[in-house]
Amino acid sequence: MAFVPPDLSVNISSLTLKNPIMTASGTFGYGQEYASFVDLDKLGAIIVKGISLEPRSGNPYPRIAETTGGMLNSVGLENIGADRFISEKLPYLVDSGACVIVNLIGNTVEEYCELAQKLDKTSGIKGLELNISCPNVKEGGIFFGIEATSAFQVVGSTRRSTKLPLIVKLSPNVTDITVIARSVQEAGADAISLINTITGMAIDIETRTPKLANITGGLSGPAIKPIALRMVWEVSRVVEIPVIGVGGIMNAEDALEFIIAGASAIQVGTANFVNPKATIDILLGIEKYLTDKNINDIKTLIGTLKI
Amino acid sequence: MYQVLSKVLFNNELSPVYYRMSLNCPEIASEAYPGQFLMARVSKQLDPLLRRPFAIHSVKNATAKEIKMDTSSCVEILYKVVGKGTKVMSLMREGDEMDIIGPIGNGYRLDRNIQTAILIGGGIGVASLFYLAETIITKGSKAKKVVFLLGGKTKDDILCIEDFKRIGVEVRVATEDGSLGCKGVVTDLLSDYFGSGDYTPGSSPYCFACGPEDMLKEVSKVIVEKELPCQISLESKMACGVGACMVCGVETKPQLGDLRKGTVLKSAKQKDEMGYKRVCKDGPVFDCNEIIWE
């Protein structure tokens, strides 16, 4: 019998992805930066660097500190703004054949809505990911993501501003992530991605100063994977909408853990810095796993954790 | 830009904490130019996690460039052991493999008509300046003078001066403790040069500097006063090396060329905000007039 490759496609609400591999916002630029290493159209989706209505200059430097098995960043949502993204960055991505999902940031509910409306009218964008979880800025970002009522409000209002599939990215810096998850589902989110980075810090003992100018930053990388996995498992048990797993995924084995825990898709973040071909390596590794286990459809693997 | 699993050809200790490593990577060697750098993954494990940036110190291309896999095509890097990553590198031996990405960045821009070049280096900053000196001397046809001013804390921080002399560079050295050359810092050498008979006002030497940020700041002050062109190569902590992660920025004065078509600048503040540049992608070499040092 002829070899039939496993079906890797997954559904995120109305959006069908050719495979479950996405890039995590902020770790893959606007796609073009990685085009020497990855065929962008081979990935399930590319989630671009967070975009705000107006350009943002971000936080002071230094913005990075490496830690054991991880990295702290305090970039602070530096980006070129929606207009320049649409005119300068989006055309290349669309031409590459990539499935483009835009990560949105705002200071106010009104800004999220205005931005969602603007992107809704822009062709070539397949979905939105609402960032209510960046730990590095006071206004916007995490302000909305750590309290169920404000999360409900911003997701509900943005939902009414766009017909595009709406993913909401959650912060792990909360007491009970399932409360926030339920709240954004109720507000009309099509999917939930988690986790954003975990707030952390590092100190230079010679100078007794913080290693980041912002004092604290967001921890990412393999160090946070067990926490992300636990939260994906917790959330996927209490919501009906698809969950997208992100946090410290470095290889196919890590990605498969998230899928078994309940994630319908996964995002690769810090691993892109370590290995610019990480997304493709993970894709090939998942395909091999399915073939070896005689699993012909990845959808049958989602949430199959045996307890 | 290539990702290459390169073989270590040699990894020699130059002085207690400084090493020179040669890596076999024909693809990178054939495209690199001075001022560009590599991102090296020093361990196949996840700790240390991130790649480290290293300036290209020299490039050896196989005699026939088309012989892509010739093992004599290599890039050399010069590094100082400062932490976990460089410690791991210092233990590598001939035949070991290291995953590198390169060549990366906008390096030194070379005018073929350069007659006099002043290279100003501090400590490990010598790394990118050797490749630059080699290139200035071998490319173009005009007779050239290359002067290299090098500063360091002690004689142990003064590297490669014989290599510079061998290719015909005039070398002047300063150390803070006076253990080699003049006692002082590299800006003293620079001021001495401008005050000496070697420098004719109006002769327009090209200046190139690489070293610690404080040194670059002081060097820039001296050179801006002389109204001479000066390119500086900046160091920064990095994560991706390809312009994606936004952690290696530098504040620059907005240049007219940056104001792209269709950009509406709504306020003076916003105009200023346009002035951040990425060291990895927009640099690492910048015009010294571009940088806002404060």
Q: Which residue out of B43, B240, B267, B271 would a mutagenesis test of the A interface target, given it has the greatest number of A Cβ atoms within 10 Å?
A: B240
- pLDDT exceeds cutoff 90 at A136: no
According to the model, what pLDDT value does residue B270 have? 47
| Residue pair A5/A61 in contact by the 8 Å Cβ criterion | no
Half-sphere exposure (Cβ direction) of A178: Cα atoms closer than 13 Å: 10
Question: Which fold, A10-300?
Answer: TIM Barrel (3.20.20)
The answer to whether residue B271 scores a pLDDT higher than 50 is: no
Indicate which residues of A carry an active-site annotation.
Answer: 134
Percentage of residues of chain B with pLDDT beyond 90? 70
Instruction: Give per-residue pLDDT as tens, A199-224.
Output: 999 999 999 999 999 999 999 999 99
| 3-state percent helix, strand, coil for chain A, nearest multiple of 5 | 35, 20, 45
Determine, for residues B101 and A276 on separate chains, whether the beta-carbon distance falls below 8 Å. Answer: yes
> Is residue A290 less than 8 Å (CB to CB) from chain B?
no
A291 touching chain B per CB within 8 A: no
What does the angle CA B127 – CA B131 – CA B132 come to, to the nearest 5 degrees? 105
In chain B, where the domains are located = 2-104, 116-235+281-287
Rounded to the nearest angstrom, the minimum Cα separation between B72 and chain A is 25
CB A29 within 8 A of CB B241: no
Percent of chain A predicted with pLDDT > 70: 97
Q: How confident is the model at residue B273 (pLDDT cuts 50, 70, 90)?
A: very low
**Pairwise CA distance, residues A115 & A67, whole Å:** 35
Query: Nearest CA to A77 among A106, A102, A101?
Result: A106
Ranges A135-144, A210-219, A224-233, B53-62: which has the least confidence: A135-144
Q: Which of residues 223-282 of A touch B (CB under 8 A)?
A: 250, 270, 272-277
Residues A45-70: what's their mean pLDDT? Answer: 94
- In the predicted structure, residue A139 carries a pLDDT above the cut 70: no
pLDDT of residue A12: 96
Q: Do A36 and B270 touch (CB under 8 A)?
A: no
DSSP string, B163-182: HHHHTT-EEEEEETTSSSSE
Distance from the Cα of B25 to chain A's closest Cα (Å) equals 17
Lowest mean pLDDT among A182-186, B60-64, B163-167, B270-274: B270-274
pLDDT of residue B259: 43
Are A33 and B281 an interchain contact pair (Cβ–Cβ within 8 Å)? yes
DSSP string computed for B123-162: GGGHHHHHHHHHHHHHSSSS--EEEEEEEESSGGG---HH
CB contact under 8 A, B263 and A250: no
Distance between CA B238 and CA B240 in Å, rounded?
Answer: 6
Distance (Å) from the alpha carbon of B165 to chain A's nearest alpha carbon: 37
Phi, psi of A149 (to 5 degrees): -70, -45
The amino acid that residue B229 corresponds to is P
The three-state (H, E, C) secondary structure of A86-100, written as one string: HHHHHHHHHHCCCCE
Chain A, chain B: beta-carbon pairs less than 8 Å apart: 110
The number of C-alpha atoms within 13 Å of B132 and in the hemisphere containing its C-beta is 32
Q: What is the mean pLDDT of residues A37-43?
A: 98
Q: Do A272 and B244 touch (CB under 8 A)?
A: yes
**Tokens for A179?**
């409360």
Closest partner CB to A28 (pick from B244, B248, B273): B244
> Does the beta carbon of B276 lie under 8 angstroms from any beta carbon of chain A?
yes
Residue A276 sits at φ, ψ, to 5 deg, of: -60, -15
> How sure is the predictor about B57, in pLDDT bands with cuts at 50, 70 and 90?
very high
Q: Which fold has domain B2-104?
A: Elongation Factor Tu (Ef-tu); domain 3 (2.40.30)
Give residue A216's Cα distance to chain centre: 21
Question: What is the model's pLDDT at position B204?
Answer: 81
CATH classification of B116-235+281-287 is 3.20.20.80, yes or no? Answer: no
- CB under 8 Å, gap of 24 or more: what pairs does A110-113 form? A111/A52, A111/A53, A111/A140, A112/A154, A112/A157, A112/A158, A112/A161, A113/A157, A113/A158, A113/A160, A113/A161
Measure Cα distances from B157 to A206, B43, B170 in Å: 21, 27, 18
Q: Searching chain B, which residue's CA lies closest to the CA of residue A56?
A: B273
Find the residue in A nearest to B83 (Cα).
A66
**For chain B, percent of residues with pLDDT exceeding 70:** 87
Q: Which two tokens stand for residue B230?
A: 């000066």
Chain A contact for B245 (CB, 8 A cutoff): yes
- Whether B82 has its CB under 8 Å from any CB of chain A: the answer is no
Q: How confident is the model at residue B258 (pLDDT cuts 50, 70, 90)?
A: very low
Whether residues A75 and B247 touch (CB distance < 8 A) is answered with: yes
CB contact under 8 A, A75 and B46: no
CB contacts under 8 A, A 136-195 vs B, are none
CB contact B271 to A (< 8 Å): no
Query: Closest partner residue to B246 among A78, A275, A276, by Cβ?
Result: A78
- Is the pLDDT assigned to residue B64 strictly greater than 80? no
Reply yes or no on whether the pLDDT at B100 is more than 70. Answer: yes
**Any B CB within 8 A of A221 CB:** yes
Q: Rounded to a whole number, what is the largest CA-CA distance in chain A? A: 67
Q: Give the minimum alpha-carbon distance from A42 to chain B in angstroms, rounded to a whole number.
A: 19
What is the identity of the amino acid at B29? A
Assess contact for A267 and A47: CB atoms under 8 A.
Answer: yes
Phi-psi group of B188: left, alpha or beta (phi > 0 → left; psi -120 to 50 → alpha; rest → beta): alpha
- Average pLDDT over chain A, rounded to an integer: 95
Q: How many CB atoms neighbour CB A302 within 10 A?
A: 21
pLDDT computed for residue A45 by the predictor: 98
Contacts 24+ apart (CB under 8 A), A202-208: A202/A65, A202/A67, A202/A72
| Mean pLDDT of all residues in B264-279 | 60
Average pLDDT over every residue of B212-220: 93
Q: What is the pLDDT of residue B203?
A: 75
pLDDT of residue B260: 41
The CA distances from residue B243 to A49, A130, A224, A284, B120, in Å, are: 12, 23, 24, 26, 27
Mean per-residue pLDDT, B101-129 = 92
Find chain B residues with C-beta within 8 A of A250's C-beta. 46
Would you call B258 an interface residue with chain A, using a CB distance cutoff of 8 Å? no
DSSP string, B34-48: TT-EEEEE--SSSSS
Contact assignment for A55 to B249 by CB distance below 8 Å: no
Q: Which residue of B has its CA nearest to A54?
A: B270
Q: How far is CA B103 from CA B28, B33, B39, B55, in A?
A: 6, 8, 9, 9
Q: Does B119 touch chain A (CB under 8 A)?
A: no
Which of A61, A204, A270 is the best substitution to test chain B (most B C-beta atoms within 10 A)?
A61
AA letter at A52:
S
Closest-CA residue in chain A for B247? Answer: A63
Question: Looking at A121-125, A134-138, B155-159, B194-198, which range is the least confident one?
Answer: A134-138
Q: Looking at the complex, does the CB of residue A84 fall below 8 Å from at least one CB of chain B?
A: yes
